[in-house]
């Protein structure tokens, strides 16, 4: 009986690292795909204007959606800030 319990515990200990390795490989694939989506968007729209940033964000999110990845948070400003008024004395 003890031999079976030992063998069952040994089998479980051998299976846990293998499962962790599979999860790590899946996670690495997802990160690589996300990086590829961002790199492709940067190649398509290399400008550094606010409009170009919005366009890059949209391209990257479309790619992420295509590959069933979560969308990125936007880095482009949503609107142009109002000019600062000087302080009154």
The one-character DSSP state at 1 is: -
Domain boundaries, given as residue ranges, for the chain: 25-77
Confidence (pLDDT) at 78: 66
pLDDT digits (tens, 9 = 90+) for 40-75: 999 999 988 889 999 999 999 999 999 999 988 876
pLDDT digits (tens, 9 = 90+) for 5-27: 656 666 666 555 666 677 888 98
Q: Residues 28-40: what's their mean pLDDT? A: 94
Confidence (pLDDT) at 80: 62
Task: Give the closest residue to 35 by CA, choosing from 12, 4, 59, 64.
Answer: 64
The Cα–Cα gap between 5 and 11 comes to 10
The Cα–Cα gap between 29 and 34 comes to 9
Does the predicted TM-score (pTM) go above 0.85?
Answer: no
């Amino acid at each position: 009986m003890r031999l079976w319990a030992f063998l069952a515990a040994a089998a479980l200990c051998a299976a846990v690292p293998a499962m962790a390795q599979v999860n790590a490989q899946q996670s690495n694939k997802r990160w690589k795909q996300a990086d590829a989506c961002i790199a492709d968007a940067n190649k398509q729209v290399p400008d550094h204007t606010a409009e170009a940033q919005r366009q890059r964000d949209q391209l990257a999110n479309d790619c992420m959606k295509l590959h069933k990845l979560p969308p990125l948070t936007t880095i482009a400003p949503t609107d142009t800030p109002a000019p600062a008024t000087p302080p009154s004395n």
